[in-house]
Amino acid sequence: MSNGDDGSRPAQGAPGPPSPAPTASSATPLLRLRGIEKHFGAVQALYGVNLDLPAGAITCLVGDNGAGKSVLTRTISGIHQPDKGEVFWEGRPVHIRSPRDASRLGIETVYQDLALADNLDIVQNMFLGRERTRRGLLDEDSMEHTAKETLASLRVTTVRSIRQPVVSLSGGQRQSVAVAKAVMWNSKLVLLDEPTAALGVVQTAQVLALVRRLRDRGLGVMMISHNLNDVFEVADRIAVMYLGRIVAEKPASELDRQTTVQYMTTGGELYIAERQAALGA
Ligand SMILES: Nc1ncnc2c1ncn2[C@@H]1O[C@H](COP(=O)(O)OP(=O)(O)O)[C@@H](O)[C@H]1O
Ligand SMILES: [Mg+2]
């Protein structure tokens, strides 16, 4: 992973367009975004994004293709730098300038495609780039022990051997290993970009069970998904993106599928009001 763009610095106190009132509990969220904007040349990918990601809750981020979900994820994980806006970690203002910065705070991301290296085994994957050494040599025993413990604690029990190459795993097992890898580093917030997109029914259920276990351990989880079945199965909170904006951010209990689809396809009242104001209507 590289730091994709380090050109612009976040400005302070940028006022964003109106956004729904935060619905998280009164506790300080792990991560709070306020007025985040991101351009790529002439393309504006994020507009005044406000979002809270509390600990001990699964926040599902939904939206049509191109809504900005991945750009938002990459901004939180330090690959992109916001042009404007503020980021608060446990209530303190922070600048996340690289994936390393994100890791230091306790933010880990599971990307849909580049999650694991096929030719390496499970232990090698889980420690990739952060290998443990002892007297100048790789400490295989210690890494193997920790990898095993982590998988066991998450009840990822279907892999035969943690020394098998990842290419030999099923899609669900791969995704489980990728998630386990993300939580092994004392992470507090895990971002999952479409973790079930390539999975069948049984494997999807396994990964969703794992996502719930992270939440039950007290981690904050942000899960992007296209699949509203998955979303309504695990979400405590739902945030809907539309054309680079968060147009709804609510407890899952306050949304149903039809309303969610409406937000995803029209942007809802908030977006319409904003456009009308912009057009002077
Ligand atoms: N690196 C990039 N350079 C230019 N435009 C980008 C880049 N990444 C994303 N975009 C644009 O930003 C918008 C949001 O993209 P993305 O976050 O990938 O959407 P989603 O994940 O919701 O499908 C799209 O219009 C996309 O083309
Ligand atoms: Mg995407």
Digitized pLDDT (tens) for each residue of the chain, 281 residues in all:
344 444 443 333 334 344 444 444 458 999 999 999 999 999 999 999 999 999 999 999 999 999 999 999 999 999 999 999 999 999 999 999 999 999 999 999 988 766 688 899 999 999 988 899 999 999 999 999 999 988 888 888 778 899 999 999 888 888 888 888 888 877 999 999 988 887 788 888 888 998 999 999 999 999 999 899 999 999 999 999 999 999 999 999 999 999 999 999 999 877 777 777 877 76
Q: From the CA of 244, give the closest atom in ligand 1.
A: 14
Distance 243 CA to ligand 2 centre (A): 13
Distance 70 CA to ligand 2 centre (A): 4
Q: Which of 2, 43, 111 to mutate to test the pocket of ligand 1 (most atoms within 8 A of CB)?
A: 43
Picking from 15, 70, 17, 16, the residue whose alpha carbon sits closest to that of residue 271 is 17
Distance 79 CA to ligand 2 centre (A): 14
Q: Which of 2, 38, 40, 226 to mutate to test the pocket of ligand 1 (most atoms within 8 A of CB)?
A: 40
Instruction: State how far the Cα of 19 lies from the Cα of 270, in Å rounded to an integer.
Output: 7
The ligand placed nearest to the CA atom of residue 68 is 1
Helix H or strand E encompassing 230 = helix 228-234
**Backbone φ, ψ for residue 117 (5° rounding):** -95, 115
What pLDDT score was predicted for residue 114? 61
Instruction: State how far the Cα of 274 lies from the Cα of 279, in Å rounded to an integer.
Output: 9
User: What CATH number labels 31-115+188-278?
Assistant: 3.40.50.300
Strands 84-89 and 43-53: unpaired
Beta-bridge mates of residue 94? 87
Query: What pTM was computed for the model?
Result: 0.84
What pLDDT score was predicted for residue 144? 94
